[in-house]
Amino acid sequence: MDARSESDPVKNRTTSERKSERELVVTRTVNGPARLVFEAWTKADLFKRWWVPKSVGLTLLSCEIDARVGGTYRLVFRHPASEQPMAFFGRYIEVTPHSRLVWTNEEAGEAGSVTTVTFEEKGGKTLVVVHDLYPSKAVLDDAIASGSTSGDMNETFEQLDELLVALGATA
């Protein structure tokens, strides 16, 4: 990234892996107890402060989180290259305080993945594992392929959006 990230103190390593044909896994240790990390994942006013890092260029317009079993979440974003705001939403399937969260990703319809996040505290630090399970290999392949080809050229952004929709429709 930039030079700043190297001089910053104690940043823990983040890993990403395609664990199987249908699974993506991200891990990171956060310096703090699980109850506080869990709080930051389940309270909207905290969640919205970190979920969309500034470097990404998206603006979070709204963020609603009802982290209870059966409760829903809804995030609305704006991208400078896209006229329409984008909404991401789903439902919490499992909410086990300080240790486990499971939610659905419903904006993609049947192509949506299920996200499981576990929090494991050790010596005042918390290992966070984010696990995404996709309905099929083809859906995850598509997500990767469309993400990889959506380059940083604004003029193609809308076309690529249409392409994503088309890919989603044929998945």
Partner 1 sequence: MRYILNHMVQFSSTRLNTSFAALSDATRRGILEQLGRADASITDLAEKFDMTLTGMKKHVGILEQAGLVATQKIGRVRTCKLGPRQLQQETAWLEKYRELWAARFDELDKVVEELEQKEKIHGRKK
Residues 75-94 that bind partner 1 (CB under 8 A): 75, 77, 79, 82, 86, 88, 90
H/E segment holding residue 170: helix 154-170
Residue of 51, 63, 65, 117 interacting with partner 1 (CB under 8 A): 51
H/E segment holding residue 140: helix 137-149
Report if residue 7 touches partner 1, rule: CB under 8 A.
no
Site string for partner 1, 120-139 (x = CB under 8 A): --------x-x-x----xx-
Q: How far is the CB of 159 from partner 1 (least distance, A)?
A: 8
CB 105 within 8 A of CB 114: yes
**Which strands form 125-133's sheet, in the order they lie side by side?**
14-20, 23-30, 125-133, 114-122, 100-104, 86-96, 72-78, 59-65
Token reading at 91: 């439902």
Residue of 22, 23, 26, 44 interacting with partner 1 (CB under 8 A): 26
Report if residue 97 touches partner 1, rule: CB under 8 A.
no
Stretch that binds partner 1, among 26-34, 61-69, 93-101 (CB under 8 A): 26-34
H/E segment holding residue 20: strand 14-20
